[in-house]
Amino acid sequence: MDIIDAIILGIIQGLTEFLPVSSSGHLELGKAILGDNSVPEESLLFTVVLHFATALSTIVVFRKDILDILKGILKFKWNEDLQFISKIAISMIPAAVIGYTYESQFAELFGGNIKLVGFMLIITALLLYLADKAKDTNKKVSFKGAFIIGIAQAIAMLPGISRSGATISTSVLLGNDKTKAARFSFLMVVPLIFGKIAKDVLSGDISTENQNITSLSVGFVAAFVAGLFACTWMIALVKKSKLSYFAIYCAIVGIIAIIFSLLNS
């Protein structure tokens, strides 16, 4: 993988991790269009590096929230901060269980299945459209809601289903405040990303031999910078009820992906 491809894929990951358009789906489309012929080990390492970059960008954007939460937890009281962390933990259960149980089955879907990506993007578009029509409230995410949102996150492991789109839409459709929904959606994925990275590293499936360090580095920087921009922008867009624009985008890209797969089948 050359430097230009690494930058492009890094920007795609950074933007689509937070924008509700499916980072996994766009990475699959990007690899198909760019003709990425990387061996599986190299591709896995590059993907891990990009996800690490976007996780760090989330921490930077929400650094004040995270510090406040940590301070609240250190008081060792059943306060709002400890409750929030508990809800995050609950939201992780569905994705952790389903991901661990059906990891190999999900992995098989990430092999250039562009038609599947197209159909899943159209489903994402529908979710975003419905969420955009929901009325805004001041309601916080409940414990039951956290688990339901976690199920949406688990479903978003399918390429083409936007994780942020699915979780934010589900949260909003449950009647939660849109800004709080976006905050919960972005923070809930950080532990899962680091957990997945640790699992991949400890599994021994990642090869670090003969790697292009320059490509990995520029990909990391591109994903991190794009992630900072996208995360901040997305919070503002959700607050202003602008998800319908992304619904249109996902529908268009989904249709193009389906047509592309049919023409190349």
**pTM score:** 0.82
149-204 tens-digit pLDDT: 999 999 988 888 988 899 999 999 999 998 889 899 999 988 888 887 887 777 76
Query: Long-range contact list for 82-88, CB < 8 A, 24+ apart?
Result: 86/143, 87/141, 87/142, 87/143, 87/146, 87/184, 88/146, 88/184, 88/187, 88/188, 88/191
For the chain, give the mean pLDDT: 85
pLDDT the model gives residue 35: 66
Give CA 177 to chain center in angstroms.
Answer: 20
Residue 39 confidence class, pLDDT cut points 50, 70, 90: very low
Q: Residue 206 pLDDT > 70, yes or no?
A: no
Q: Residue 59 in contact with residue 18, Cβ under 8 Å?
A: no
**Residue scoring higher pLDDT (205 or 62):** 62
